[in-house]
Amino acid sequence: MSDFKSNMWAEEEYVDGSFIMRYRLKNTLFRGKSEFQAVEVVETEGHGKMLFNDSLAMISEKDEFIYHDMITHVPMFVHPNPKNVLVIGGGDGGTAREVLRHPGVEKCVMVEIDKMVCDACYEHIPQTSKVFDNPKLDLKYEDGVAYVKNTKEVFDVILVDSTDPIGPATPLFGEEFYKDVYNCLSEDGIVVSQGESPFFNQDMQKKLLSILKNNFEISSIYNFSNLTYPGGLWSFTFGSKKYHPVKDFKADKVLDSGMEFGYYNEEIHKAAFCLPQFMRKELKDFIKA
């Protein structure tokens, strides 16, 4: 974040530094270093407030609805009756916020390793973090990897809302973790995980999908487009014990819910699983659906 220090720009480097996205700053609201990562909240001219972890853009107020709609509502509308939901990571709160809009949810456990992220967002980005006051939310500052290994709780849906596979999130991209996720999912449970860029991280997508294929009855991947992740196109992986993400999806359930969304709808749900040819070709052997 070279120019970040000058208080002029927040910037994120990509493709080995050959491609950069820069956001003109109005203010720096928070800058800290936890035992896990650098945490920064800034206010930008064009994208509202933004959270950066280790110089990687996590969310912007302008487009966070897209990511949070798509990580949450796709599995929540495939599962017929999700009551207990686990969010791993997601320290800004946006994923838990969307989970708790579903009236059938009785409890949402959110396990975030880095309390500094939650605290900074709670102070500066209420748009995502006001959910921390919701009595149905059980917010734990713990290592998500250890949590799924040790918990006796059973979840219908698990959402892995992680940063990239560097730093504290690295174990969240490993097979051991997904075996534990499988074991604390109900017999018809679903796990959805941040699935990286189809343009830049195809090897990581193959790794994640092959873990899901080896450990779950159904493995798939779906896309969305957002503003703040480089390349625009981004993905989530989908692992499921019973329900197919498209064949078992009922559009009427979305329409009848009366819920309003910014990005998600009953057509986007199905369209998101239609992969561009370069993805279909590379990933077809890793999809079991």
Residues annotated as catalytic (active site), given as ranges: 161
**Are 124 and 194 spatial neighbours (Cβ–Cβ below 8 Å)?**
no
Q: State in Å, rounded, how far the first CA of the chain is from the last one.
A: 41
Q: Which residue has the tokens 């159904």?
A: 218
Q: Rounded to an integer, what distance in angstroms lies between the CA atom of residue 212 and that of residue 222?
A: 14
Q: Rounded to an integer, what distance in angstroms lies between the CA atom of residue 127 and that of residue 262?
A: 14
Number of residues that bind a second copy (CB under 8 A): 44
The residues pairing with 288 across neighbouring beta strands, listed in sequence order, are 219
Question: Does position 277 bind a second copy by CB under 8 A?
Answer: yes
The least CB distance from residue 230 to a second copy, in Å, is 8
SS3 assignment, position 163: coil
Per CB under 8 A, the list member of 84, 223, 237, 240 interacting with a second copy is 223
Per CB under 8 A, the list member of 39, 47, 85, 213 interacting with a second copy is 47
Return the DSSP state at 223.
Answer: E
Return the DSSP state at 288.
Answer: B
The stretch near a second copy (CB under 8 A) out of 121-129, 171-179, 213-221, 224-232 is 224-232
The least CB distance from residue 43 to a second copy, in Å, is 11
Question: Does position 19 bind a second copy by CB under 8 A?
Answer: yes
Binding mask 66-105 for a second copy (x = CB under 8 A): x---------------------------------------
**In whole angstroms, how far apart are CA 10 and each of 3, 66, 91?**
7, 21, 20
Q: Which residues bind a second copy (CB under 8 A)?
A: 9, 14-24, 44-47, 63, 66, 199, 223, 225-227, 229, 231-233, 260-265, 267-268, 270-272, 274-278, 280
